[in-house]
Chains A and B, each alone.
Chain A
Amino acid sequence: MEYKDYYKILGVARDATQDQIKQAYRKVARKYHPDVSKEANAEAKFKDIGEAYEVLKDPEKRAAYDKFGANWQEGQHFEPPPNWDAGFEFRGTGYTGADASGFSDFFESLFGHGQTGRQRTHVFRMKGEDQHAKIVIPLADAYRGARQTITLTRPVIDGDGRVSTSPHTLHVVIPKGIIEGQRIRLEGQGLLGHGGGPAGDLYLEIVFQEDPVFHAEKRDIHLTLPVTPWEAALGATLTVPTLGGQVQVKIPPNSQGGKKLRLKGKGLCSASHQGDQIVTLQIVLPEPRTEEQRRLYRTMAEQMPFNPRSGLER
C-alpha cells in the first residue's frame, strides 16, 4: 500500500489551519473538477483531493493521520502500525456525505468505508451512481462502426461492507457515424445500487485518436492535400485518401492554395446526418536544384508577368 501525503495533495503546510485547508480544498477542487479541467489525469486528481479533504477537514481524522509523522513520502510503501487508531473514534461514523466508494486502499485501511457497522443496517434502496468514462477511438472506427472491449476499475463492496476495486470488462458496440464528444449510455453498467436498488448507468464519451492525415470537425473530415503549381494551374485528377479508401478527385484549373473541395458523404455519416470530407489545397513549390531548373523559373518570370501584391497597393 502506498502512503498518501494529504497535505501535499491539497498543497498546504502540515500546520495549516482548518480554514486554510478548506480554502485550499476549494481552490484545487475547482482546478481539477473533471467537468472543468482539461488536465489528463483530472479524474484521479479530483478523487485524491476529495479523499485528502475527507481526512484533513475532520480534526479527529487529521490528528490520527498526523500521528504517522511528517517523514513519509507520497507513494512510499506503507503499513499502519497495529492499534494505531486507539483513542480515536471515527470508524464507521464520521462520514460527511462524500462518496467514499472511490477512495484509495490507503484511506480504506485507515478509516474503513462509509458503509460499515451500524450504518449498514439502515440501507436505503438507492440507485447506484452513474459512471463516466472517456474512450479514445481511431477515426476509422467512427467511420465504419466497430466493436471495442474496455476495462474500467470500479469499487466493489462485499457482504461485510469492505471495499476493494476490481476490473470491470465490457464489450461495446461503437455505432457507425458517432462523433467526438457524443456519449454512449449503457444502462445498468454504472456503479452497483444500494439496498437492492438498480445499478447506475455508464456513459462513455467519445474522443478521437490524433490522426496524422485526417482531422475531424464534428461530422466533416478535413485533409490538407499538397499539390504542385502545375497541377493547381492546369487542373489534374489526383488520388486522395478518405476514411473509406482512396478516391479520384478532379482539381479544377486555376486553383489557388487554400482552395477547399468538398467530397460529399465522405465524412462521418450516421443514419440521418451526412458528413463530408473537406480537401484543402496546399501548393508546394519544387525547389530548383539545377541551373536548368532555375532557368525554368526565370522563363516563367519573363513570360508570365504577374504581381500577386497588386491588392496591397494604395
Chain B
Amino acid sequence: MIEQRIYIQGMVLNEEMRCSLADLCSLCGVNAELIHDMIEEGIITPEGPSMREWCFTSVAVKRVQVAMRLQRDLRVNLPGCALALDLLDELEELRRLSRRR
C-alpha cells in the first residue's frame, strides 16, 4: 500500500503578515485588555491610525507570546517583560554581529 502523505501548509509569520486586535488575542490566547496594557508598557506598538484599524506584525505576535511565557514561568511583570524583550533583542543583535566577525 502506498502511504499518502499530506503536507500541511502553515501560516508563515513573516514581514508581510498583519493581524487585527481580535486575531492577535486569539493567536496568543489573551484578552484585549492585556494587549492594551502591553501597548501602554511599550511591549508592542500597533500600526494604524485608530484602535478600530489597528494591526499588528508578526514581531508583535512573538513579543506577546514571549511576554506571556515570561509572566507565567518567571513571574516577570509587564514592565519587566518590556525590559527583558528589549534586552533580548539587543543580545540577539550582538550575537549576530559577533557571528559575522
Contacts and interface: CB of A to CB of B under 8 A. Distances in A.
Contact of B11 (A26, A149, A187): A187
Given A38-B95, A127-B29, A184 B74 contact: no
A215 B14 CA distance: 20
Interface in B51-80: 58, 62, 65-66, 69-70, 73-74
Given A182-B58, A273-B15, A33 B73 contact: yes
Contacts of B39: none
Contacts of A29: 73-74
Contact of B66 (A30, A35, A201, A271): A35
A35 B70 contact: yes
Given A127-B29, A173-B9, A183 B73 contact: no
A204 B10 contact: yes
Interface string A172-185: 11010011001111
Contacts, number: 76
A171 B6 contact: yes
A173 B84 CA distance: 33
Contact of B7 (A46, A173, A215, A273): A173
B13 A183 contact: yes
B11 A184 contact: yes
Contacts of A273: 14-16
Contacts of A26: 74
A183 B62 CA distance: 9
A35 B69 contact: yes
Nearest to B59: A181
A34 B96 CA distance: 18
B12 interface: yes
A40 interface: no
A189 B9 CA distance: 12
A304 interface: no
A147 B62 contact: no
Interface residues of B, number: 27
A189 B7 CA distance: 13
Contacts of A217: 96, 100
A270 interface: yes
Nearest to A202: B10
A250 B7 CA distance: 42
Given A29-B74, A35-B88, A182 B7 contact: no
Interface in B3-46: 5-16, 27, 29
A172 B66 CA distance: 24
A170 B7 CA distance: 8
Contacts of A34: 69
B11 to A, nearest CB: 5
A186 B70 CA distance: 23
B10, B66, B73, B100: residue with the most chain A Cβ atoms closer than 10 Å: B10
Interface of A: 26, 29-30, 33-36, 38, 46, 50, 127, 130, 147, 149, 170-173, 175, 178-179, 182-187, 189, 201, 203-204, 215, 217, 270-273
Query: Considering the complex of A and B, which 4 residue pairs feature the smallest CB-CB distances, nearest first?
Result: A184-B10, A186-B10, A171-B7, A183-B13
Given A182-B13, A189-B8, A217-B100, 7 more contacts: A35-B70, A46-B73, A175-B9, A178-B12, A183-B12, A184-B13, A217-B96
8 contacts: A35-B69, A36-B84, A130-B29, A149-B5, A171-B8, A173-B8, A183-B58, A201-B27
